Amino acid sequence: AQSVTQLGSHVSVSEGALVLLRCNYSSSVPPYLFWYVQYPNQGLQLLLKYTSAATLVKGINGFEAEFKKSETSFHLTKPSAHMSDAAEYFCAVSSMDTGRRALTFGSGTRLQVQP
């Protein structure tokens, strides 16, 4: 079974500072990994995905994530935070290789950006 752990339910950074949101996964098969962003009372928007190609994945809004198999990690980073980045971020793992296409989500990290 797949699972995702997001360390830190809340992260606060200053505008212009580095953003680092942590995600570790557990998977019995090679994982497909995703980061989604959720704004209040809205659905989820895909930021980026890892599907066994390049280990450094670039996404929208300046975000990127690096897949590290040895560390079973898929941390999300952005060099310079913007006020509009304040939202809830979810890391997710796909069970596609097991034939089950639902995503399993981490507990989420709320990002606050201070002016």
Q: Which residues bind other proteins (CB under 8 A)?
A: 32, 34, 36, 41-46, 49, 51, 90, 94, 96, 100-108, 110
**DSSP state letter for 72:** T
The CB-of-16 to other proteins minimum distance in angstroms stands at 27
The CB-of-38 to other proteins minimum distance in angstroms stands at 9
The CB-of-52 to other proteins minimum distance in angstroms stands at 10
Nearer to other proteins, 43 or 115 (CB): 43
Distance CA 30, CA 7 (A): 22
Nearer to other proteins, 18 or 29 (CB): 29
108 close to 9: Cβ distance less than 8 angstroms:
yes
Nearer to other proteins, 62 or 108 (CB): 108
Q: Quickly tell me which residue has 């992260």 as its tokens.
A: 11
The CB-of-82 to other proteins minimum distance in angstroms stands at 23
Nearer to other proteins, 101 or 115 (CB): 101
Q: Give φ, ψ of 2 to 5 degrees.
A: -95, 150
Distance CA 69, CA 29 (A): 12
Closest by CA to 21, choosing from 99, 81, 84, is 81
